[in-house]
Amino acid sequence: MNFNYSIVRALALLMTGGMLLASCASSPPPCDGPQTKNLDAAIGDVKESLVAGCSAHFEAYYDDLLEIAEGNPKHENKRLFSDFLVWASDEGILSQRQARDYYNRYFNVKFVSLQSDYNNCSHTCPRRGKVMLDMQRELSDKERGLLKVSMDNAGYYRADELYQEVELVLEATCTACSAGQ
Amino acid sequence: MNVFQVRPAAEVSIAPQFPAAFTRIFLLSLLVSLLLVVTAQAQAPTIKLFPTTVVEDLRQTSFVAKEMETGLQEVIGRLDQQQQLYQESKCDGAESDPGCQRLAKQLGATYLDMLGIMEERLPDMEHTVNNTRLSLEKRLRSELGNKMTSWTLQETLLGGNPQAESAAATPSMRGKSGMRLSERFRQYYQLVASSSSQTDQSLAVLASDIYLDMDETSVLIARTREEIARATLIEQLNQSFGTITPEMMEVVGGVKSILFGDEASQVQVAGPPPGSIEQAYRSPLEN
């Protein structure tokens, strides 16, 4: 009886250990956001998490990084974000186009939301309201990226001016297009 | 080195100077060719928004507006004087007074004169404004509407240098100011006539601005022409009773502000849009 009890106990221990090991192997990584307020270190943390399989959280991480950078705005931040996105593209976490869009939406004067392959009369004018709304949203992202993160005041004000010019020129062009129909 | 330097006559001796002169001529012609190439590149119109017909239409509109203003200036001045006299004579509330009735009739007659001049000149004005509007409409549709995507339009507006400060490149006026109608068109004409010195991005904005302004002016003129017939009829009836209606004064005020601008807001050249003035970011948390 004593012998049997030892075997059962050993088996139970083995099974518990095995189950613990198995549960460790299959549980997803915690995918926590960066815990530091230093942008360089935060980018390092995010890279680790992304490599560990948290790529689905990319957008949230990007937002966390922007928030951290807003706490310490400087021109240099633009380059740090660019390097990070190039790395993400090289690692296959983002496509090249996604990486470009993530960068340009926040750090370039040009509006990503104006990408189109068709002419203005046939494509842009029928959805002018949506185009302007998308541009407005992008302008607020540019305010974050250019103004609050990289202190590029001139860049942001040029983007703001571009927004107003596009609004005026599209209004005139679309009025002219509809008059010709 | 000054290539245009003139040597004293005593120094000039053709034979020994020939190689030097030849070099100078060669350098000069090279310089001129380079200048021509650079100028041609700078002036090469990639978008044709202002052909000579549009420029001529604008000049004509400015001329017609000026004529209309000149015609109305005298009669409006007379109206102002009569109105002042009417008020100084304390005729408000004393309409039955025979002197006041006479003044009111004179005022009404001058008002009819003003309506008559407008009725006579507005068709010309309407015609030239419509011509300009239609030429620009065609150009905008073809150059910016059919030949460009929203992306290429953005690139045109940025002028190939997104980071550059655009203050110098963009036109400095944006319609709808309190200036005289003819002055507005004259400024448009001047901006367009010097369009060879403007970049594509400023031309696109300028063309859009003028077109929208013309579109609005065109609607206003059509509406004014409709109103003139009605106002004339009413005033002819009023003449029989010798009364001054508040509507009459309102119409005169409206005509003055359209033609001669609002005295209180005489803005010659409109400022940049609100967001374009560079200011440091100010957090709402700042005191």
* pLDDT at B278 > cutoff 60: no
pLDDT band per the 50, 70, 90 thresholds, residue B6: very low
pLDDT tens digit sequence for B169-207: 444 444 444 566 777 777 777 777 765 556 666 789 989
In this predicted structure, the answer to whether residue A126 has a pLDDT above a threshold of 70 is yes
Contact B151 A108 (CB under 8 A): no
Distance between CA atoms of B210 and B58, rounded to whole angstroms?
A: 10
For chain A, what percentages of helix, strand and coil (3-state, to nearest 5) are there? 80, 0, 20
Nearest by CB: A109 against B141, B158, B215: B158
pLDDT at residue B281, rounded to an integer: 38
Contact between chains at A116 and B149 (C-beta distance less than 8 A): yes
**Tens digits of residue pLDDT in B18-56:** 444 444 444 444 443 443 344 444 444 467 888 888 888
Asked if residues B208 and B202 have their Cβ atoms less than 8 Å apart, the reply is no
Tokens found for residue B81: 């004087």
Report CB contact under 8 Å: A119, B154: no
Instruction: With a threshold of 0.85, tell me whether the complex ipTM lies above it.
Output: no
Q: How confident is the model at residue B243 (pLDDT cuts 50, 70, 90)?
A: low
Task: Find the mean pLDDT for residues A59-71.
Answer: 97
Q: B184 vs chain A: nearest CA distance in angstroms?
A: 19
> What was the pLDDT predicted at B146?
95
Chain B: closest CA distance from residue A142 (Å): 13
- Read off the DSSP letter of residue B149: B
Checking if the pLDDT of A163 tops 60, the result is yes
Choice between A18 and A139, residue whose per-residue pLDDT is larger? A139
For chain B, the straight-line distance linking the first and the last C-alpha, in angstroms and rounded, comes to: 60
Provide mean pLDDT across the span A15-35: 67
| pLDDT > 60? residue A81 | yes
Tell me phi and psi for residue A119, to 5 degrees.
-70, 160
- Mean per-residue pLDDT over chain A, rounded: 90
Q: DSSP secondary-structure letter at A113?
A: G
Show which residues on chain A lie within 8 Å of chain B, measured between beta carbons: 108-111, 114-121, 123-125, 131, 147-148, 153-155, 157-158, 160-162, 164-166, 168-177, 179-180
Percent of chain B past pLDDT 70, that is, above it, reads 59
**Lowest mean per-residue pLDDT among A23-27, A42-46, A103-107:** A23-27
Q: Name the token pair of A61.
A: 């991480």
Q: What percent of chain B has pLDDT over 90?
A: 11
Among A6-15, A110-119, B106-115, B239-248, the minimum mean pLDDT is found in B239-248
Q: Is the pLDDT of residue B14 over 50?
A: no
